[in-house]
Structure 1
Amino acid sequence: MAAEHGLILDFTTVLATSALGGYLVNRLRQPVLLGYLASGMIVGPFGFKLLSDVTRIQSLATIGVAFLLFALGVEFSLSELKRVKDIALKGSLLQIGLTTAVVALLTILTGWVEGILQGIFLGVVLSFSSTAVVLKTLAERGETYTLHGQVMLAILIAQDLVLGFMLALLPALNQPSSIVFAIGAALLKVIVFLALSVGFSRWIVPGLITRVAATENSELFLITVIALCLGVALVTAKLGLSIEMGAFVAGLMVSGVDYSDHALAKVLPLRDTFACLFFASIGMLINPGILLQNFGLILVLVTLVMLGKAIIILPIVVKFGYSIKTAIITSLGINQIGEFSFVLALAGLRQGLITEKTYLLLLGTTAITLVLTPIWLNISPYLADKFTQVPLFAKYLSNVIQPTLLSIPETINGHVVVAGYGRVGQIIVNILQNQGYPILVIENSEAAIQRLRMQKIPYIFGDADSELVLEKAHLKNASALAIALPDPSSTRLLLQRALKIAPSLDVIARSHYNNEIDLLTQMGAKEVVQPEFEAALELGAHLLASLGEADEHIHSVIKNIRIDRYRSIRPL
């Protein structure tokens, strides 16, 4: 009984300190996961030692990773996955290979390792990035479905698959005669797992979820979803693959079912609770003593790792046809060392592939890169914008950024420029087309450009907030600009630059947050639309009509709310 109380006390201690740490960093306008990491360091074995059983808390924290990736899988449609499949499959392997080769070469030349095998192993460890930290940060910033968010997640998911393969292969690295057999066995495990997953997602999971949902028992539905998520993650763990990969695949199984949104809504509170435990458990691994004793060396290693990985990733993203801005944000977003590199490094220590000193330095370096990741992601759009204006690189970057995919009539005039061809942008284009207005779409997704090309809609391929792209859009001759971008910072930058080129241009912008409505209006947008408020207005209009209100009165009420920029209905 005392042991059970001890677990409850540990669980409560971690959650309470994480809540306090998250609150404090939120007040400082920083991502809350920095507070979770700090709280783990404070209560953990290298802090005030407030926990009686760190191992059990870390085991519970693994559930947080599973729920994080399961939720991503549910939200991540296969069509989105296909959109970035090239960089996911080829780009991630190229990134892992180049990182491994560079690290192996440098560590051998500097005498950091004793042989080629150790250099390669260290390179593999450093090549992986953090799916959990990046995913959490992107979700907090509302950038999961931006182009750079999709590219990051595609590379990270592919890395998780390779990580699982490496964990399965590791025991045979010190036995050259059995490496071929180990590679074959690892590949077989991956193939069997993926084949079984496809079969389950087609013939078993839809029927199971539908039958459970038919009972209309919310509790039973939640238990079934949790069992599916953790069950598939456990299977991958038993196969020697990564838990992250299993949970993501479980989410993909559910994503094709009609009740996927309901499943996601049920899992989200659990995901956030256990994800908090996970980030706190990462903080528990940070040893301030080791950091202080080797501060200078670790600082150098952090700089080399984050700068080196960014330099390797940036040209790879550009090579696959993405813009320089997307490449810069992506390279700064996944240039850390992944949390599951801890697991790989510990296994390498037991195998004699790295020394204990290297292992401790690796822990400190990894922990700091994880802490810095949210900060890098926050400032990466600003850095990307500033980097493109550096005189030294201006000529080179102008050639790279210059939009080469154009389909614009020579005599285009009086057209409406639509920035963004996502779900909202497509609807705007359809409305304008049906009324016979000339259109020009700016989009940085290759898949969207292919659809525009097939529909013979004029387009420019590139970032809509790029000055060089806007110069090609003939804004001075345009009748209006509709901004339907998923990224708030890009929306503000585009509005500012568009009005600089054409000060009298009518701009309609989509607002992502309530506080942006007044900001975008002050910046010069003629109309700012908040999708949630618009949905509420439509529901309210239908409700008033059903209550017998006259159409003229309803129209007047809705019109006044819009003129007042939703002030009368905004939440306090």
Structure 2
Amino acid sequence: MQEDFRLIVDIVVVLAAAAGGGFLAALLRQPVLLGYLLGGAIVGPAGLGLVKELIQVETLAQFGAAFLLFALGVEFSFTELKKVQGISLGGGALQIFSTIAVTTLVSIGVGWVTSPTQGVFLGAILSLSSTAVVLKCLMERNETETSHGRVMLGLLIVQDLALGLMLAVLPALDRPSEEIGIAVGIALLKTALLAGGSVVAGIWLIPPLLRFLARTESRELFLLGVVALCLGIALLTEYLGLSIEMGAFIAGLMISEVEYADQTLTYVEPIRDIFASLFFAAVGMLIDPLFIWNNLELILGLVALVFVGKFLIIAPLVRAFRYSLRTSLIVGLGLAQIGEFSFVLASKGQALGVVSRRVYLLLLGTTAVTLITTPFILRLVPRFFTWAETVPWLKHLLDGVDVPLEVPENVPTRNHFVVCGYGRVGRNIVQLLQSHNQSVVVIDQSEQTIQQLRDANIPYVYGNAVSLHVMEAAGVGEAKGMAIALPDPMSTRLCLKRALELAPDLDVVVRATQDKDIELLYQLGAREVVQPEFEASLELSAHLLNELGVPLPIIQREVQQIRNARYNTLRPERRPAQVSRDLAVAAQDMNSKWVALPEGSPLVGMTLEETDLRRLTGVSLMAIRRNQGEEIDYPEPEISLEEGDRLLVVGETDELAAFSELAKGEAAVPTENASCQWLLVPEDSPASGKTLAELHIRRQFGVLVQAIRREGKFIRFPNGSSDLQAGDRLLLCGNFHALAQASRWLAPNFEPQAAFNHQVEPNETELSLAQSVSGEVGES
């Protein structure tokens, strides 16, 4: 076969293999990068052998690496880096140097390398994590704007910046040991001169050139000019003894701050994606499955060492920068792999003779395995935290260290509004509330955001909005209302759940990032759920209808009807099976349990509104599965419970236990003649410091104390030995008249609020309770 035609066949085979592998990965909901690696391994010399000459394909693949780094440079944002500049710059540098130092010491100690130079090179490879895989996973879970998402991306940006420096220094490592210092110094000097020249060109040369290309109004000319600029600078750096990849990255940085950066990225992305698939497929062709199989134990051991070692370096570093333990653990697990750009370093190192062929193959195998396992680990992290909530000492550890990082003196403690998240939505909410002279407290854990709040003199609590300790510091228990505008669904759900633990009657409005979360958030207790895309549709439609002459009151009524119906008329119809699957996925991220209603349960025959499970036990009922197999997801309040029902409930361990007591009839259930009400025990209450057995509240007033809430902790269905303290909130159940009497005695200054369940007329004095153990619950 002619040489030129052989090249065409090889490129077609590699692209087809990359496309097939990428398609398979997409079907399995994995990053397509893993499919490219798999496709290359299958058609490469160690696989089917369809591509035997790698030199020409690798040459084209080098363009892929160059375009990858060029696009990375264009996308690089100093603004995004500033959001987490402390952990990014300080923590990122410490992480890289720590990884290199530890790897060098360990590799020399166990004999993996023969010189410190090789150890440093090995450490540089291991210090890089996968930007492509981590970013893909964060985007799939809508977590790019979360605390751990921002920290991950900040550290990855610094690692990508460090790659350029590593590529510059790498050629110096093949010199004799006595010349390495001089060679590294020369490489750093060249890098500094190149950086200085790039700054000058980026300010005075590149912008006029791009404007000139843009004025031609020709997409082809603009693209050709940008590609020529990228490859020209890449060849210049290669000529200077640095690397093509570093030059491409610098070219991207030069364009990143120009007004045509977005247009440049849009034009280059298709070329980047094609050549990048060639690059990763070419890397896959270098992977020898037989070598991996023959050295499987060693490679799996190296994978374990990489994960454990990087986790033990990264997680404590993030924690040292005052991030929560939960965030530190997620970041440590998320970045505990070797990145795709490590392939670039590894191939350069082998070409320069810094590492042997065997070490190079071990690196390739280890990197490939870590890239494959990372998405699975990130998906298991939420389930780990859900399981940890069921283990008392782990729950105490996670909650105990997740305390507020800073609470200023100007934070109001009563009759204020709490806003969780100070992004664009949260900022607007605060501005509108303050314009009506309302007290506001913001909860956020971004250091840059907190500085903005300081500058604006807005009361804040610096910490994780999901933490009960942070919520208590923000005075959630005494707040008028709360707005939750957090960027990811998981934090939103936990924040809502725990806010209602502190204040069951709190008016909470929540922003839903996805339409499938709307019913879930309502079921968890949100008073109002707002979905930005639907709200935009309503406002645009309202304007158009008003222009058509439809009366404004009619438009407002229709818009409100759509909101009251939870946007059902706008939401795409989903099959029940799809709703069940989405609910099952959401429940996995929370502490959930299917519970069968016991035979003779007092809950049988009651509607969900009558049971009011959330107030009595703290659980949220997400689904009902009937005996006949019918499943009712997100049941409405008027749904009645039936014999043999299985209920999907979400709550803390003690809340699930309380629900089990209630369902079995081991605790009193308020019936239609009873109302229940939360009451604050003040300092001057005669009940303060006494046990329920001493107070005889049930015998004296005919009401039950169903729960005690104290400092974020709940005592469900307390017995006679439970004591009351000033600041406790009691859940009292009885008829209206009895509740009023008990309230006046327990809290002389108490102002009656709306009770819940079935309110009755004041002249009804009978308290009807069902299925209490021996007719009483303790001596309450």
**TM-score (normalizing by structure 2):** 0.66
Amino acid across the alignment from 1:133? V
In structure 2, the residue matched to 1:89 is: 89
Amino acid across the alignment from 1:549? V
In structure 2, the residue matched to 1:455 is: 456
Aligned-partner Cα distance in 1 for 2:66–2:543: 42
* Residues 502 and 25 of structure 1: CA distance in aligned 2, closer, same or farther (over 3 Å): same
Q: Deviations over 1:126-182 (max 9, x none)?
A: 222223333343344443343333322332333333333333333433413322322
Q: Deviations over 1:426-484 (max 9, x none)?
A: 12211211122211111111111111112221111112122332232322222222221
Amino acid across the alignment from 1:195? G
* Residues 80 and 19 of structure 1: CA distance in aligned 2, closer, same or farther (over 3 Å): closer
Task: Answer yes or no: is 1:80 the counterpart of 2:80.
Answer: yes
Aligned-partner Cα distance in 2 for 1:557–1:247: 55
Aligned-partner Cα distance in 1 for 2:362–2:75: 37
In structure 2, the residue matched to 1:108 is: 108
In structure 2, the residue matched to 1:6 is: 9
How do residues 115-514 of structure 1 correspond to structure 2 at under 5 angstroms? 115-173=115-173, 174-229=175-230, 231-232=232-233, 235-236=236-237, 239=240, 249-349=250-350, 352-383=353-384, 400-407=401-408, 409=410, 412-514=413-515
* Residues 356 and 328 of structure 1: CA distance in aligned 2, closer, same or farther (over 3 Å): same
Shift of 1:313: 0.8
* Residues 137 and 196 of structure 1: CA distance in aligned 2, closer, same or farther (over 3 Å): farther
Amino acid across the alignment from 2:439? P
Q: Deviations over 1:354-403 (max 9, x none)?
A: 34332222221111011112222333344456568866666665564211
In structure 2, the residue matched to 1:559 is: 560
Q: Deviations over 1:301-359 (max 9, x none)?
A: 10111111110111111222322222222211221122333343344445554343322
More helix by share: 1
In structure 1, the residue matched to 2:19 is: 16
* Residues 269 and 169 of structure 1: CA distance in aligned 2, closer, same or farther (over 3 Å): closer
Partner SS state of residue 97, structure 2: helix
Q: Deviations over 1:480-533 (max 9, x none)?
A: 222212222222222222233333322222222232233323333232222233
Q: Deviations over 1:160-206 (max 9, x none)?
A: 33333333333433413322322222222322232233233333333
Is contact 1:417–1:482 with CA below 8 Å preserved after alignment?
Answer: yes
Aligned-partner Cα distance in 2 for 1:167–1:320: 29
Is contact 1:301–1:365 with CA below 8 Å preserved after alignment?
Answer: yes
355-364 or 458-467: bigger deviation:
355-364
* Residues 122 and 276 of structure 1: CA distance in aligned 2, closer, same or farther (over 3 Å): closer
Aligned-partner Cα distance in 2 for 1:292–1:496: 48
Is contact 1:323–1:401 with CA below 8 Å preserved after alignment?
Answer: yes
**TM-score (normalizing by structure 1):** 0.88
Aligned-partner Cα distance in 2 for 1:489–1:238: 50
Is contact 2:287–2:365 with CA below 8 Å preserved after alignment?
Answer: yes
Aligned-partner Cα distance in 1 for 2:224–2:407: 51
Is contact 2:420–2:426 with CA below 8 Å preserved after alignment?
Answer: yes
* Residues 225 and 366 of structure 1: CA distance in aligned 2, closer, same or farther (over 3 Å): same
Aligned-partner Cα distance in 1 for 2:192–2:484: 44
243-252 or 484-493: bigger deviation:
243-252
CA RMSD of aligned residues (A): 3.2
Is contact 2:399–2:467 with CA below 8 Å preserved after alignment?
Answer: no
Aligned-partner Cα distance in 2 for 1:447–1:522: 34
Is contact 2:172–2:187 with CA below 8 Å preserved after alignment?
Answer: no
Aligned-partner Cα distance in 2 for 1:337–1:110: 21
Is contact 1:432–1:439 with CA below 8 Å preserved after alignment?
Answer: yes
* Residues 502 and 47 of structure 1: CA distance in aligned 2, closer, same or farther (over 3 Å): farther
Is contact 1:44–1:51 with CA below 8 Å preserved after alignment?
Answer: yes
Is contact 1:18–1:276 with CA below 8 Å preserved after alignment?
Answer: no
Amino acid across the alignment from 1:285? L
* Residues 184 and 114 of structure 1: CA distance in aligned 2, closer, same or farther (over 3 Å): closer
* Residues 537 and 505 of structure 1: CA distance in aligned 2, closer, same or farther (over 3 Å): same
462-471 or 199-208: bigger deviation:
199-208
Is contact 1:18–1:280 with CA below 8 Å preserved after alignment?
Answer: no
Is contact 1:21–1:39 with CA below 8 Å preserved after alignment?
Answer: no
Is contact 1:157–1:245 with CA below 8 Å preserved after alignment?
Answer: no
Q: Deviations over 1:403-423 (max 9, x none)?
A: 130126465222221111122
Aligned-partner Cα distance in 1 for 2:239–2:282: 22
Amino acid across the alignment from 1:363? L
Aligned-partner Cα distance in 2 for 1:146–1:246: 32
Identity of aligned residues (%): 51
Shift of 1:211: 4.0
In structure 2, the residue matched to 1:25 is: 28
Amino acid across the alignment from 1:319? A
* Residues 306 and 239 of structure 1: CA distance in aligned 2, closer, same or farther (over 3 Å): farther
Partner SS state of residue 406, structure 1: coil
* Residues 428 and 197 of structure 1: CA distance in aligned 2, closer, same or farther (over 3 Å): farther
Is contact 1:167–1:240 with CA below 8 Å preserved after alignment?
Answer: no
- Could you say which structure has the greater relative contact order, defined with CA pairs below 8 angstroms and 6 or more residues apart? 1
Is contact 2:415–2:480 with CA below 8 Å preserved after alignment?
Answer: yes
Partner SS state of residue 482, structure 1: strand
In structure 1, the residue matched to 2:607 is: none
Aligned-partner Cα distance in 2 for 1:280–1:143: 29
More strand by share: 2
Task: Answer yes or no: is 1:41 the counterpart of 2:65.
Answer: no
278-287 or 234-243: bigger deviation:
234-243
Aligned-partner Cα distance in 2 for 1:269–1:154: 26
Amino acid across the alignment from 1:2? F
Amino acid across the alignment from 2:551? A
Amino acid across the alignment from 1:485? L
Aligned-partner Cα distance in 1 for 2:426–2:364: 45
Amino acid across the alignment from 2:202? S
Is contact 1:415–1:479 with CA below 8 Å preserved after alignment?
Answer: yes
Aligned-partner Cα distance in 2 for 1:290–1:534: 57
Is contact 2:74–2:255 with CA below 8 Å preserved after alignment?
Answer: yes
Is contact 2:22–2:33 with CA below 8 Å preserved after alignment?
Answer: no
Aligned-partner Cα distance in 2 for 1:522–1:471: 23
Q: Deviations over 1:277-321 (max 9, x none)?
A: 444444333322122111112111101111111101111112223
Partner SS state of residue 509, structure 1: strand
Aligned-partner Cα distance in 2 for 1:352–1:12: 30
* Residues 242 and 132 of structure 1: CA distance in aligned 2, closer, same or farther (over 3 Å): farther
Task: Give the greater-gyration-radius structure (CA).
Answer: 2
Aligned-partner Cα distance in 1 for 2:136–2:68: 8
Partner SS state of residue 404, structure 2: coil
Amino acid across the alignment from 2:47? G
* Residues 554 and 213 of structure 1: CA distance in aligned 2, closer, same or farther (over 3 Å): farther
Aligned-partner Cα distance in 2 for 1:72–1:241: 18
Amino acid across the alignment from 1:111? G
150-159 or 210-219: bigger deviation:
210-219
